[in-house]
Amino acid sequence: MSYRRMRAVCIKELHHITRDSRSLALALLLPVLMLLLFGFALSLDVDRIPTMIYDQDQTAESRALVRQFEGSKFFEIRGMVGDYGAIERGIDRSRILMGVVIPRDYSRQLGAGREAQVQLLLDGSDSNTASIALGYAESLVRNYSLELRTLALNRRAGGHLAPPVDARLRVWYNSSLESKNYVVPGLIAVILQIIAALLTSLTIAREWEMGTMEQILSTPLRPAEMVLGKMFAYFAVGLADAGIAVLVGVFVFRVPFRGSLPLLAVSTCVFLFGALFWGIFISASARTQAAAYQMGILSSFLPAFLLSGFIYSIETMPWVIQVITYIIPARYVVTILKGIFLKGVGLSVLWGELGLLTLYALIVFVLTTRKLNQKLV
């Protein structure tokens, strides 16, 4: 290992980076664009569910239930209708997501102390939103019926009876349960993974295509020097991207930042090392820029997006997939970033993830050097 040769490669790469101002601008703007796009589009909050109500009963009791729906922030009443057809058309044309039908005997059943039924019609074509909407509607109706029952019991008993169990909810770390707070830190990790792989995935394939590799191979330059030199040049860009992404997260999305900045810096660096090495590895394997680009996107974007636990929680995946997620570095960095941003936890909790990221970087570095050690043909 010669520091001078490594530095020579690094300086040379920095020349390439700064001369190609269009690519550099893209590399620096891309994280902002992606963060804004995904950050706003990937809102997983389900509220103001467009709803129609068909009240067949038209009594004081049924209207009280309607008022419950009207008063909830989760539902937005798009109309009171007089038949099933209107609800059906509303769902077909995606104007509403849910229809509530209060049957004709609602108040009578209620008055008789029997179970009164309410029908909920849901657009299941978006099953995720539908099941969340169903949950809200069910709990609204259940709470309301419990309230009615307690009220009736109290009236009969003449005293005051508290509901049997009263859950007092307190959500930690993201108390407002806003999805952006957990989407954005994960998104930063995913974006860095993609950018890092894209930055470096072309760097060696380009040398093969341009014929500059053969000339370099005739010098005493060692593979490790080449890999490290290239990595550090792109590391500068990656670190700038990370800084931009964190600033956008904190100042544009107002995601709380509760943890330690140095820990964030260290974990980002370690993660970038691994991700940049991975890009170089792909580049060394592909030999053409087009193939390297595709492999870079596929191998970074898809796993980081789907298997990192950034949106889809790993705990609910089939166990085979869960096992696979252990080799996805984004998984660890998503945990680290969420931990630092939202929970404010430190090294005592995140050391395992950080250790695994370090291990990953080392393994990919060794693989890349091996790959480059091969001679022509």
Partner 1 sequence: METIIEIRSLTKRFGELTAVDHLDLTVAKGEIFGLVGPDGAGKTTTLRMLCGLMDPSEGSARVAGHDVARDSRAVKDQIGYMAQRFGLYQDLTVEENMVFYADLFGITGETRAQLTAQLLRMTRMEPFRTRPAGQLSGGMKQKLALMCTLLHRPRILFLDEPTNGVDPVSRRDFWAILYQLLKDGITIFMTTAYLDEAERCNRVGLMHKGKLIRCATPGAMKAETGSATLEGAFIQTIHAVDGATA
Nearest in space to 54 (alpha carbons), one of 39, 38, 65: 65
Rounded Cα–Cα distance for residues 4 and 221 (Å): 10
Q: Do 116 and 152 touch, CB atoms closer than 8 A?
A: no
* Tokens 């480059």 -> residue: 372
Nearest in space to 270 (alpha carbons), one of 363, 205, 349: 363
Name the minimum Å distance from CB 20 to partner 1. Answer: 7
Nearer residue to partner 1 within complex by CB, 103 or 223? 223
What tokens appear for 134 in the block? Answer: 């169903």
Name the minimum Å distance from CB 27 to partner 1. Answer: 16
- In the complex, the residues that contact partner 1 under the rule CB under 8 A are 2, 4-5, 7-8, 11-12, 15-16, 19-20, 210-221, 375-377
What tokens appear for 88 in the block? Answer: 């059906």
What is the number of H-type helices and E-type strands within the chain? 15, 4
Rounded Cα–Cα distance for residues 257 and 318 (Å): 32
Name the minimum Å distance from CB 21 to partner 1. Answer: 11
Q: Is 80 helix (H, G, I), strand (E, B) or coil?
A: strand
Nearer residue to partner 1 within complex by CB, 33 or 216? 216
Nearest in space to 64 (alpha carbons), one of 74, 73, 53: 53
What kind and span of H or E run contains 109? Answer: helix 106-111
Name the minimum Å distance from CB 11 to partner 1. Answer: 8
Name the minimum Å distance from CB 205 to partner 1. Answer: 15
Name the minimum Å distance from CB 44 to partner 1. Answer: 44
Nearer residue to partner 1 within complex by CB, 58 or 215? 215
Nearer residue to partner 1 within complex by CB, 2 or 143? 2
Nearer residue to partner 1 within complex by CB, 9 or 275? 9
Nearer residue to partner 1 within complex by CB, 19 or 73? 19
* Tokens 């014929």 -> residue: 211
